[in-house]
Structure 1
Amino acid sequence: MKNIKNYRSYNLFFSLFFFGMLANAQQLLTTEEAVELALEHNYGIKIANNTTDVAENNTSILNSGYLPTLTGLAGASIDVNNSEGQLANGETRVAEGAETRRYNASVNLNYTLFDGLGRLYNYKRLKEEYQLSELEARETIETTMLQLFSVYYTVAQLSENTDALRETLIISKNRLTRAGYQFDYGQNTKLDVLNAEVDINNDSINLINAKQELINTKRDLNVILGNQISEEYTVDTNLNFLLQLNKDELLEQTKNNNVTLLQAERNINISQFDIKTNKAQFLPTIGLVGSYGWNESSNNSPLAFTLQSTNSGVSAGVNLTWNLFDGGSALTQVKNSKIILENQKLQKEQLVIDIERNFNNAWDDYQNKLVIFQVQENNIRTSQNNFERTQEKFKIGQVTSIEFRQAQLNLLNAELSRNQAKYDAKLSELTVLQLSGELLNVEF
């Protein structure tokens, strides 16, 4: 039995050494690197940026309606006819299979001089839509960043949990070794050995589950990063809290810089331009037209006065179109646009109330979780002190294995609870920053 125990001790030492070497060989993924990878490779962010590019293209002068249209036309035709005609002197002439060939080409210009300022308001509307698309892209980035940090810190928490469970398993294996020696020398019963083996099995299962959950969560993080990490990696478990945050200043920034509120303002501006664009239908449209044309015609019929003619020239003109009555369609559009504008303003007022409430809730939640984290930190020290004292007494036989196990579990639960509180507090802080519009302005 002693040889078996020696082998177990050697195997445990080798495993710990191997895991230590493996951890050192793994790539450390910092929060800064994760943010850079997500901004460059996350598919949601890429799509949002492409959508913004489309909106920017729509604001070009080429899509404004201010430029003229220029079209070219060309054609050719051949007519073959049988003709019969009588001349003034009574002579009758017959033309069989007479061909008439016609050729034409022209360049035509159309330009709207005035359309009731509809183009102007539509162009300004496109500018607002572009700015709205930028805000939507920013919202996508903020949401992705919050998701990124949520998964990143979950990986960090599971990494620390795995370390705690691994340490618990080491302690349980040492306990089994000690129980085996004590049983060999008749200092305890077989029951203590069996209890130690049961605890090792439970600790091993917990460690296996934690490792698998850690692997799965790392895969989730890699998906957010656009699958850019091919090697095994670790994450940074050191956190810095922005304790200098001021509630009143952040609340004011929330009202001025919250991305949802800014989008509501852009929608109001768009609705205002919609009203002006619809009103432009009541005014006339003045257009300029011009063309340069060339025509050629040839006729080999003996009845024709001319065998060939060619014409070319320039023509220009101004036209006015005024829709005096369209059945009330334009008036209805104006009325509906005003109602839509009123709804946009009401929605913004509701958003201000909702976002202010959400901010206050998030701030209080952040403060509470910071306090809980501090309490859990103190609890760790208490549990660690209790475990060390219990361990010393266990070695000299003053406490039972059950009491030792309870102290061990108390320490483990305190570590797991501390890890949970630690990252909950950080995510609460990030939620406050997102609501205030400052998430993308801080350094992590």
Structure 2
Amino acid sequence: MRVLFLFVSLIFIQNLIAQDNLLSKQEAIDKVLQNNFGVKIAQNNVAIAENNKSLLNSNFLPSITGSAGANYQRDDSTFEFPGQFLFDQETGEVLLDDAGNPVPRPDTNLYKAEAQRYNARVTVDYLLFDGLGRIFDLKRLKEEYNLSELQARETVETSIVQLFSIYYEVARISENIDVLAETYANTQERLDRAEYAFEYGQNNKLDVLNAEVDLVNDSISLMTERQLIKNTLRDLNVVMNTDLESTFKVDTTVVFIDPIDLDTFFKDAEENNVSLLQAKTNMSINDYTLKSAKSVFLPTVGLSGFYGWNLNQNAPGAFFPGVNVNNTRNFGLGATLTWNIFDGGRGITQVKNAKILLDSQDLAQQQLLQQVRRDISNARGNYENSLRVYRLQEQNVITASDNFERSNERYKLGQITSVELRQAQINLLNAETSKNQAKYTAKLAELQYLQQVGQLLNVPF
């Protein structure tokens, strides 16, 4: 009895400690939305699509180009005048030296002759009309943004289903551990009773040995399940992207959706299923792609304008000794009309291919509709069947529990053997673990059904 008391006390203390570290369902969802890598990547894709659909990426705004330049030049030059002579400024006659020879014109040196050139220019180009292509491109980009949001929603839904498939597995193992601990305690009590009876000569050693063997088996099952929950907790931490060695208890409460709500969800499933919504968005994207391709048959009109400034400061030369400064400002406006009357057939081919792609998308959507209808019906059937199995397992636990209690009383009175009591105990253990399995299987089937009808993010967990 002392061993039994210590074991039960240990279980009670562990439960008290774990209650302070309970991970609720909503907290688990919040961790997935904040930390899960797949969800983060999907959110980044939405951000990229949001940038792409903005006016800055639409080609509706003008382009403005600015340019400027500066140039500096310095020259040291010597100008020679071979065969030229000096003239008298008054008479115009050639000057003679003392020997009567003409005086040659001396060389001219130009030292540190500097020149500067500066310019600046602003050019504005605006596409006034491009055959309506950019209008449909902008609409296509907005639909691509909607598609990225739907893809992110699908990632979130898939991550939540993955989360709860592991979360409920932890819950199932936790309840199994409680069942195994109770089974261990009952076996320990039977062993104590058999030892007392053997000491007082009321039975033989066989009952003691049978109880010891059963106690070892129960201990092994309990140890195995405890190791299993450690491994499963690590799986849960991976999904939530938290510390792998974090330990906590999970909420084992399961509440099923009202059947009336499930019927309502079923009626509106095709309007809310995320796969069908993505298919419809892809249809819109391909439709805008086709309309944009047709813009090749229309002309384009563009406007342009510029404003420029130039400053040239030339160095003095041999014939122009003064500094020459030229300051110029200019501007201009222009318009162009371009019509690609025939581009060799490439535009026609693109339009034809766009029509074929649109038709293929329509066929794919019809195929997907059939598959989604099948998946919704299967998911609903699986859920309803799993729920019925769970209800039957609940009743089976009641029956097995009553059978064990009666068998235990009869064993105390010596009316049945320890083997028969052990069989009743195993039946109860199997019934309780099967009920736990059925409960979480039904709940996961419900979540999968809610995902198919597009209501997974709109219901409490």
Does TM, scored on the shorter chain, surpass 0.5?
yes
Instruction: Answer with 1 or 2: which has the greater Rg.
Output: 2
Q: Percent identity at matched positions?
A: 48
Count how many residue pairs are aligned between Structure 1 and Structure 2: 434
Residue 403 of structure 2 is aligned to residue 409 of structure 1: no
* Equivalent position amino acid for 2:60 in 1: Y
Output aligned runs, 1:384-399, within 5 Å: 384-399=401-416
- Per the alignment, residue 95 of structure 2 pairs with none
Give the 3-state SS of the residue equivalent to 1:291 in structure 2: strand
Shift of 1:112: 0.7
* Equivalent position amino acid for 2:446 in 1: E
- Per the alignment, residue 94 of structure 2 pairs with none
Structure 1 distance, partners of 2:256, 2:303, is 66
- Per the alignment, residue 73 of structure 1 pairs with 67
- Per the alignment, residue 54 of structure 2 pairs with 60
Output aligned runs, 1:137-286, within 5 Å: 137-227=152-242, 232-245=247-260, 249-286=264-301
Output aligned runs, 1:398-437, within 5 Å: 398-437=415-454
Residue 336 of structure 2 is aligned to residue 333 of structure 1: no
Distance verdict in 2 for CA 1:387–1:289, change over 3 Å? same
Structure 2 distance, partners of 1:187, 1:32, is 56
Output aligned runs, 1:278-317, within 5 Å: 278-300=293-315, 301-303=317-319, 307-317=324-334
CA contact 2:180–2:221 (8 Å) conserved in 1 = yes
Structure 1 distance, partners of 2:318, 2:266, is 94
Shift of 1:83: 10
Structure 1 distance, partners of 2:378, 2:85, is 108
- Per the alignment, residue 33 of structure 1 pairs with 27
Shift of 1:220: 2.0
CA contact 2:272–2:453 (8 Å) conserved in 1 = yes
Distance verdict in 2 for CA 1:144–1:295, change over 3 Å? same
- Per the alignment, residue 23 of structure 1 pairs with 15
Structure 2 distance, partners of 1:152, 1:167, is 23
CA contact 1:292–1:314 (8 Å) conserved in 2 = yes
Give the 3-state SS of the residue equivalent to 1:302 in structure 2: coil
**Offset from partner CA, 1:66-104 (integer Å, 9 cap, x none):** 111111101133567879899xx9999989787654321
Q: Choose from 1, 4, 7 the match for 1:12.
A: 4
Shift of 1:205: 1.0
Distance verdict in 2 for CA 1:222–1:18, change over 3 Å? same
Give the 3-state SS of the residue equivalent to 2:268 in structure 1: helix
CA contact 1:251–1:356 (8 Å) conserved in 2 = no
CA contact 1:85–1:303 (8 Å) conserved in 2 = no
Once structures 1 and 2 are overlaid, which stretch shifts more, 213-222 or 123-132? 213-222
Shift of 1:247: 5.8
Give the 3-state SS of the residue equivalent to 2:201 in structure 1: coil
Give the 3-state SS of the residue equivalent to 1:153 in structure 2: helix
Shift of 1:246: 5.4
Structure 2 residues not aligned, in runs of 5+:
87-104
Give the 3-state SS of the residue equivalent to 2:305 in structure 1: strand
Give the 3-state SS of the residue equivalent to 1:325 in structure 2: coil
Structure 2 distance, partners of 1:339, 1:38, is 41
TM-score normalised according to structure 1 size: 0.91
CA contact 1:286–1:318 (8 Å) conserved in 2 = yes
Structure 1 residues not aligned, in runs of 5+:
1-8
